[in-house]
A = this chain, B = another copy of it.
Amino acid sequence: MMHNKALALTLSNAIEQQQFDKAIKQVQALRPIDIADVLALIEPAFAWQLLERLPNRSTIFSYLEADIQLALAEEFPQDSLARLVGEMPADERADLYKYLNQGQRDALLPVLAQAMREDIRRLSSYHEGTAGALMTTDYATLGAQMNVAEALASLRREAPDAETIYHAYVIDEQRKLLGVVSLRGLILAAPERLISDIMVSSVVSCNVNEDQEDVAKTVARYDLISLPIIDDSGALVGIVTHDDAMDVASDEATDDFHKSGGVSTMVGRLKDVSIGVLYRKRVFWLVFLVFGNLFSGLGISHFEDVIAANLVLVFFLPLLVDSGGNAGSQSATLMVRALATGDVVMRDWFSLLGREALVALLLGGTMAVAISIIGYIRGDEVVSLVLALSMMSVVMIGCVIGMSLPFVLNKIGFDPATASAPLITSVCDASGVLIYLFIASKFLTI
CB distance from A373 to the nearest CB of B (A): 11
Q: Which of B29, B202, B300, B371 contacts A202 (CB 8 A)?
A: B29
CB pair A333–B263 under 8 Å, yes or no, is yes
Write the chain B residue with the least CB distance to A201.
Answer: B29
Give the number of residues in A that approach B within 8 Å (Cβ atoms).
Answer: 109
A404 sits at the interface (CB 8 A)? no
Select the stretch in A46-54, A229-237, A267-275 that faces chain B. Answer: A267-275
Given A330-B262, A367-B287 in contact, is the A362-B275 Cβ separation under 8 Å?
yes
Complex Cα distance, B334 from A379, in Å, reads 41
CB pair A183–B166 under 8 Å, yes or no, is yes
**Chain B residues in 8 Å Cβ range of A374:** 294
CB pair B322–A250 under 8 Å, yes or no, is no
CB pair B221–A336 under 8 Å, yes or no, is no
Encode A326-357 as 1/0 by CB contact (under 8 A) with B. Answer: 11011011111110010111001000100100
Write the chain B residue with the least CB distance to A276.
Answer: B362
CB distance from A208 to the nearest CB of B (A): 21
Complex Cα distance, B326 from A260, in Å, reads 11
CB pair B286–A367 under 8 Å, yes or no, is yes
Would you list which residues of chain A between 233 and 280 have a CB under 8 Å from chain B?
241-243, 245-247, 249-250, 253-254, 256-258, 260-263, 269-271, 275, 278-279
CB pair B300–A371 under 8 Å, yes or no, is no
Interface of chain A, helix or strand or loop or mixed? Answer: helix
A108 sits at the interface (CB 8 A)? no
A220 sits at the interface (CB 8 A)? yes
CB distance from A417 to the nearest CB of B (A): 9
**Chain B residues in 8 Å Cβ range of A31:** 202, 204, 222
CB pair A220–B246 under 8 Å, yes or no, is yes
Select the stretch in A73-81, A122-130, A418-426, A438-446 that faces chain B. Answer: A418-426
Q: Which of A249, A326, A363 has the most CB of B within 10 A?
A: A326
CB pair B311–A296 under 8 Å, yes or no, is no
Given A184-B159, A352-B271 in contact, is the A250-B315 Cβ separation under 8 Å?
no
CB pair A294–B319 under 8 Å, yes or no, is yes
Complex Cα distance, B345 from A85, in Å, reads 33
Complex Cα distance, B289 from A322, in Å, reads 9
Complex Cα distance, B256 from A143, in Å, reads 46
CB pair B300–A314 under 8 Å, yes or no, is yes
- In addition to A187-B187, A254-B341, A314-B317, 16 A-B residue pairs with Cβ atoms within 8 Å of each other are A166-B184, A220-B250, A223-B241, A224-B243, A242-B242, A246-B246, A249-B253, A250-B341, A254-B337, A257-B333, A269-B343, A270-B344, A279-B362, A282-B359, A286-B323, A291-B370
